[in-house]
Chains A and B, each alone.
Chain A
């Protein structure tokens, strides 16, 4: 396992390196001269411009700039927001917990909906329950989550007045209020993932139930429910766990719009606001941070997969 882990981590490094080159490239794509933008009112003063260029190493060749930038990134320094002069890393650390809470709730919802539906449809294969579950999954996958968000606001906030349509209360401040402000966006985010989870659970269950040991268990006369729960489900959960970890990255992506609709000051809103502020260091920082999270999550997924499924370790 140790060697495998080393090799797996070793694979990540070139991926991250290439990613860093790409993001550094984005920097070059950026319209406008950063020195001019940072100089603000003093942009007419060539001395100020020269000073800023020297500070940012803009007067050096590209590869030197890249190495210096990488050096800073490795120390967790993603640069400063142009707009409010706050370190990007600070902004990200501030917003990430909000999105994390949202993502976690969405994921719980997705598992609560997706896994039971997947099991049900596998057990009742080719029966109405299977069709209904499949339909629901397709529905969840095809539903644009920003529209679902709007529909939910229309129903639960405008018509029924049960839930606040938007805003956010930190969980540290008021637990129930926090849940009330995040339950709709979490549900919206969770539906799409629930659909994907349902399909995979169904496929995994069907696969597991056709395996020899399940057949043997059946042949031994074990009750159907025991077969389903004890043998098939345990094996079916392996891909669910790993897939779930990866789907978490997808949640981050979906959070961009959901946070916009529900005015939740999280990671997604950070990046959208940064785009409209033309605050490019923040955009870059967010891209790099999500990639990092994503890569670490898939590493975690692989480790989990190994841990659950010892047979693979030798492979």
Chain B
């Protein structure tokens, strides 16, 4: 094992250096960035309007005119996959952002306040974690009504207890360190302690968890859309594309291949990046 610790390097610099040298993680990051660009520039990149139907050209196999073929309504599958990246990434990122915004302050509060506040919050998080993620999301989406925004909200709520636990754990750890105790002894108000001393420490594990959670949230959005509880027609989402593709598995398999491949690639990329991030930020591990 070769531990190359360069002198005068901050932990952040070290993490970045290690991440950059982690080839798989970099590959994941590149793919993520590519998908983000595709989503951002969907209107420019998509050869056609994703909802433009063409009744004379339904279910055509991939060709020069339609690289990914056309779907059951004669819409260009490539354009729909490109626009679908928007729904997927937006859902993944926003849902996790929502989960972080909901979960982290509550977790910090639990960890710092302790006592009955901690007990109540922890039990609520336990209760939510005791329902399998997707089933909780489906139940919430059912009660909120089918729509992409509601699916995102359902995913955010379902994903938040993980961040509550994470933040709480980190807060507890930080609270026991000498410098936080010192800060408190000096009479700093608790919120200041939280922001100045605890928050920076939880950023690295939070980033790792968020990256992995985005991967999970993207699958969850695709799942809800696949079930008809997410993106509503005619707007494309990879999950709903797969749903209608199921009907034509024998006649038009390409309808199922491309959106599925897109989900797989982007999820794989986030997982690779997340794993790499974890390795890079892990102070105990100095390889890779």
B114 at interface (Cβ–Cβ under 8 A)? no
Cβ–Cβ contact B223 & A144, under 8 A: yes
Q: Which residue of B lies closest to A22 (CB)?
A: B127
Asked if A31 and B223 sit within 8 Å, CB to CB, the answer is no
- The reply to whether A154 and B256 contact each other, CB–CB distance below 8 Å, is yes
Interface check B20, CB cutoff 8 A? no
Which of the 9-residue segments B46-54, B56-64, B90-98, B267-275 touches chain A?
Answer: B267-275
CA distance A19 to B226 in the complex (A): 28
**In the complex where A31-B145, A142-B267, A283-B142 touch, is A147 in contact with B260 (Cβ < 8 A)?**
yes
Q: When the two chains form the complex, which single residue of A147, A249, A291, A294 contacts B242, counting CB atoms closer than 8 Å?
A: A147
- Tell me the chain A residues, 12-44 only, with Cβ under 8 Å from chain B: 14-16, 18-19, 22, 26, 29-31
Contact (Cβ within 8 A) A252 B142? no
Contacts of B145 in A (CB 8 A): 31
**The one of A14, A142, A286 that contacts B135, using a Cβ cutoff of 8 Å:** A286
Q: In the complex, how many angstroms separate the beta carbon of A245 from the nearest chain B beta carbon? A: 13
Which of A62-70, A179-187, A269-277 faces chain B?
A: A269-277
CB distance from A29 to the nearest CB of B (A): 5
Report Cα–Cα, A141/B28, bound state, in Å: 15
Pick from B124, B131, B264: contact of A291, CB under 8 Å:
B131
Query: A99-143 toward B: CB 8 Å interface, digit per residue (1/0)?
Result: 000000000000000000000000000000000000000110111
- Given known pairs A29-B143, A294-B132, the reply for A138 and B249 (CB within 8 Å) is no
Given contacts A15-B123, A147-B264, contact A287 B136 (CB under 8 A): yes
Question: Could you say which interface size class chain B belongs to?
Answer: 35 or more
CB pair B127–A19 under 8 Å, yes or no, is yes
Q: Is the CB of B143 within 8 A of A30?
A: yes
Complex: chain A residue closest to B132, CB-CB: A253
What residue of chain A has the Cβ atom nearest to residue B128's Cβ? A22
Contact flag A139-B260 (CB < 8 Å), given A15-B123, A144-B219, A276-B228: no
Across-interface contacts of A18 in B (CB, < 8 A): 123-124, 126-127
- Residues A287 and B139 in contact in the complex (CB < 8 Å), given A15-B127, A254-B134: yes
Contacts of A276 in B (CB 8 A): 228
Chain A residues whose C-beta falls within 8 Å of the C-beta of B119 in the assembled complex: 14
* Cβ 8 A contact of A139, one of B126, B215, B249, B268: B268
Q: Are B215 and A290 in contact (CB under 8 A)?
A: no
B contact residues around A141 at 8 Å (CB): 271
How many whole Å from A135's CB to the nearest CB in chain B?
A: 9
Q: Which of B134, B135, B246, B275 contacts A261 (CB 8 A)?
A: B246
| Contact flag A19-B264 (CB < 8 Å), given A144-B222, A271-B138 | no
**Which of B126, B143, B227, B253 counts the most A-chain CB atoms under 10 A from its CB?**
B143
* Number of residues on chain A facing chain B (CB within 8 A): 49
- The reply to whether B223 and A252 form a contact with Cβ atoms under 8 Å apart is no
Whether B139 pairs with A257 at a CB distance below 8 angstroms is no
Give the most central of A15, A154, A250: most B CB within 10 Å: A15
Q: Residues on B close to A: CB < 8 A?
A: 119, 123-124, 126-128, 130-136, 138-139, 141-145, 215, 219, 222-223, 226-229, 242, 245-246, 249-250, 253, 256, 260, 263-264, 267-268, 271-272, 275
Q: Return 25 A-B CB contacts under 8 Å, by A number.
A: A14-B119, A15-B127, A18-B127, A22-B128, A138-B271, A141-B271, A143-B264, A144-B219, A146-B226, A147-B264, A150-B246, A150-B260, A151-B260, A153-B249, A250-B133, A256-B227, A261-B246, A271-B138, A275-B227, A280-B143, A284-B139, A287-B136, A290-B131, A294-B130, A294-B132
Binding site for B on A (CB under 8 A): 14-16, 18-19, 22, 26, 29-31, 138-139, 141-144, 146-147, 150-151, 153-154, 158, 165, 249-250, 252-254, 256-257, 260-261, 271-272, 274-276, 278, 280, 283-284, 286-287, 290-291, 294-295, 298
Contacts A26-B139, A144-B222, A272-B227 given; 7 further ones with Cβ under 8 A? A18-B124, A26-B143, A138-B271, A146-B222, A147-B263, A151-B260, A153-B249
